[in-house]
Each structure stands twice: as C-alpha cells, then as structure tokens.
C-alpha cells in the first residue's frame, strides 16, 4: 500500500484551514474573494465568508493570508519530499 503524497500546496491550504486563517483568493478574472478555507481537494476550494464559495483551483491566481502564517515550516515539506525520493 502506498503512502499518501503530501505536496506543498496541500500542506499550505491545510495549515490555513486548521488555523482558520482569513485569506483573500484572487481569481484569474480579477475578482477577490475573502474568507476562511473550510475544505479543499485536488480540484476545488470551499471558502466561507459572508457567503460560501466553491472555487475551482484552475481559476485561482493567488491566495493571500490576511495575517502572518505561524508554525508553517518549509523544512517539514522538504523532509517529506526527500522521504518520497528515498522510498521510490
């Protein structure tokens, strides 16, 4: 059985979700949507603000946290990446 792959995008989004960090999602057409990430998968993000928004990831240009991100460590991502290379 293979282990799940954790990529940087998933780790970043999951950290924002767990910490309930307010974000602004910039859409490719110029729209900005502000809220808290409630969930995500490979193709979409569920954002709760004044309204709930279901956003397809292919339409996202940028995600900007409203406050500094604490306890998100690139070192952890690099370690997992190296483990995957070693275990191939």
- Helix then strand then coil, in percent of the chain rounded to 5, is 30, 35, 35
Q: Which residues pair with 64 in a beta bridge?
A: 24
Q: In the prediction, which pLDDT does 51 show?
A: 96
Angle between helices 74-86 and 8-19 (to 10 degrees): 140
Instruction: Tell me how far CA of residue 9 lies from CA of 1, 14, 24, 75, in angstroms.
Output: 23, 8, 16, 14
Residue 4 has pLDDT above 80, yes or no: no
Residue 34 has pLDDT above 70, yes or no: yes
List, in order of start, the domains of the chain with CATH numbers.
8-86 (2.30.30.100)
**Mean pLDDT taken over the chain:** 86
- DSSP string spanning 40-77? E-SSEEEEESSSEEEEEGGGEEEEEESSPPPS--HHHH
């Amino acid at each position: 059985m293979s282990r799940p792959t954790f990529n940087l995008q998933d780790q970043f989004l999951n950290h924002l979700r767990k910490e309930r960090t307010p974000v602004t999602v910039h859409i490719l057409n110029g729209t900005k949507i502000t809220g808290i990430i409630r969930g995500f998968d490979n193709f979409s993000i569920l954002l709760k603000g004044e309204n709930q928004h279901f956003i397809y990831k292919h339409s996202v240009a940028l995600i900007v946290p409203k406050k500094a991100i604490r306890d998100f460590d690139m070192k952890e991502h690099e370690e997992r990446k190296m483990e995957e290379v070693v275990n191939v």
